[in-house]
Amino acid sequence: MRLLPGFPSSSLQLHTYEARPIMEIMTRDYLHEMTFYDVLMASMRDCDAISFRTCSEVEGPYCDYLNTQHGKRVLLAGPSLPDPPTSKVEEKWEKWLGGFEKGSVVYCALGSEWVLKKEELQELVLGLDSTGLPFLAALKPPFGCETVEEALPEGFKERLEGRGVVHGGWVQQTFILGHPSVGCFITHCGGSSTWESLMNDCQVVVLPQIADQFFNAKLLSRDLKVAVEVERREEDGWYTKKDVCKAVNLVMEVNSKIGNEVRANHSRWKDVLLSPALESSYLDSFVQKLFDITKNPRHPYTTT
């Protein structure tokens, strides 16, 4: 997918397997014979302002671009980071995670909505197994399966012997990411997970599945350089267990060049996002700008 002239970065250029489903969504009939793209552009044209949950430190150039393209105020509400956990993770996970060394566990979660195909789930968990590291994978049962257990390769659960867990239910992600033994987070790059990955110390591997997740993944891996993306086949996005294993090893190997680079960048960005008053300053400004709009809705405004 080609980027429009003046777009602030070439790093968000999409692969074929990423662009295709986005184009399908954009060109699909959505409302009164209008496509989703038509509705989106009409909204941009007729609105008084565009608002995002982000901050200029992370996505400022892209927000400035939207301001220039659409001539609208772009209001930023800040990253809205979750508060640090004040209690412990659920007892069964605390006991399991507590049995491993600091920073050694790989935690994998692809969100509460996305469902993998059975073959995709198998490649993913086999890749996790191939790393030789302990892992916790929180994944929904794949299509055609009642439980996640029935989708696992034959003998897989028995072979792990407690070193790895594939869980089909909900987990306390914020608590797990903050646990000392968790050293790597494989994420689909949903909105909340993207911010949570930045505010924790884990190494980050990205495996986006659809739409905005592709852009979030590129923001982390290419712009901020705090993550490594799982390599995938260009035409359909297929990945193998070797691809998963390779990405995890790249960030988890001791003293590796890539691992050290993303760790250092991650630390810097965490300091930026957790700096005192960042959240409150954005929220105060956001509320003030909304108040200003009610008084003068068509007054031109810059990104803030």
Residue 182 CB-density burial (10 A; 0-12 exposed, 13-18 middle, 19+ buried): buried
Q: What residue segments make up the domains of the chain, in order of their start?
A: 10-81+276-295, 91-273
pTM: 0.91
Domain 91-273 has CATH 3.60.150.10: no
* Helix ranges (DSSP H) in the chain: 16-27, 36-46, 56-70, 91-97, 118-130, 156-160, 173-177, 191-198, 212-218, 241-252, 257-273, 278-295
Closest CA to 192 of 180, 184, 200: 200
Q: List per-residue pLDDT tens for the chain, 304 residues long.
A: 555 667 776 677 889 999 999 999 899 888 888 999 999 999 999 999 999 999 999 999 999 999 998 998 999 999 998 877 777 788 999 999 999 999 999 999 998 888 999 999 999 999 999 999 999 999 999 999 999 999 999 999 888 888 999 999 999 999 999 999 999 999 999 999 999 999 999 999 999 999 899 999 999 999 999 999 999 999 999 999 999 999 999 999 988 899 999 999 999 999 999 998 999 999 999 999 999 888 876 655 555 5
